[in-house]
Amino acid sequence: MSMASDDPAVPPREPGLRPLPQLIFGSRWLQLPLYLGLIVAQGVYVILFLKELWHLILHSFDFSEQQIMLVVLGLIDVVMISNLLIMVIVGGYETFVSRLELENHPDQPEWLSHVNASVLKIKLAMAIIGISSIHLLRTFIEAGSLGSDRTGYTETGVMWQTIIHCVFILSAIGIATVDRMGQPIPGNSHKALRHA
């Protein structure tokens, strides 16, 4: 029985990867222990958070308002570092190792649907700025005690911490600007189609 000329042609089977490309492509799985290690680090941060929270509860009647504020900022710092870890674990695994296939999962993070290496870099830069901001805020709260034995900060240390924070901000702006320059302008694609 002959095939009709209008029947769709069956696409040929794609050949498998040659050994060397297969080895190179398969080497991405070497990152798996790194992400598993970050999950362990996440567990350590949970223990640290609970320890600091318990410390705050035990001394809630002894601490001054400033001391409570410093402990709370420490807790926020732990949470933000934990958020950074989640972004690296989930986004990095999805981008560089293998798909997580969370498309229909009700708890899929909103940002994961459009994550790529550029988006991940910008999100990480913003998270680092947030963490640096918390550290700088804690420093500024203790800045009134500079020169005394009650603080471990010096004027030079505060100055350098502020400069480093500004460098983080400028780096994030630079990363976002370079990423934006690399993206096609939406109007240009329509113009190119019209001229084609």
For residue 22, pLDDT beyond 60: yes
Q: Are residues 74 and 129 in the same domain?
A: no
Q: Are residues 118 and 93 in the same domain?
A: no
* Domain end call among 42, 65, 99: 99
**Structural element, H or E, at residue 24:** helix 19-26
Q: Is 92 contained in some domain?
A: yes
Q: Is 190 contained in some domain?
A: no
- The range of the structural domain enclosing residue 86 comes to 26-99
Q: What is the pLDDT of residues 105-138, one digit of tens each?
A: 777 777 666 666 777 777 788 888 888 888 888 8
Q: What is the pLDDT of residues 162-192, one digit of tens each?
A: 899 899 899 888 888 887 787 766 665 455 4
Q: Is 11 contained in some domain?
A: no
12 C-beta neighbours (distance < 10 Å), count? 6
Cβ(31)–Cβ(98) below 8 Å: no
- Alpha-carbon dihedral of residues 53, 161, 150, 69, nearest 10 degrees? -30
Q: Are residues 121 and 166 in the same domain?
A: yes
Q: Are residues 178 and 143 in the same domain?
A: yes
Q: Is 133 contained in some domain?
A: yes
pLDDT class of 193 with cuts at 50, 70, 90 = very low
Q: Are residues 47 and 89 in the same domain?
A: yes
The Cα-based distances of 51 to 40, 47, 75, 80, 97 in angstroms read 17, 6, 10, 17, 34
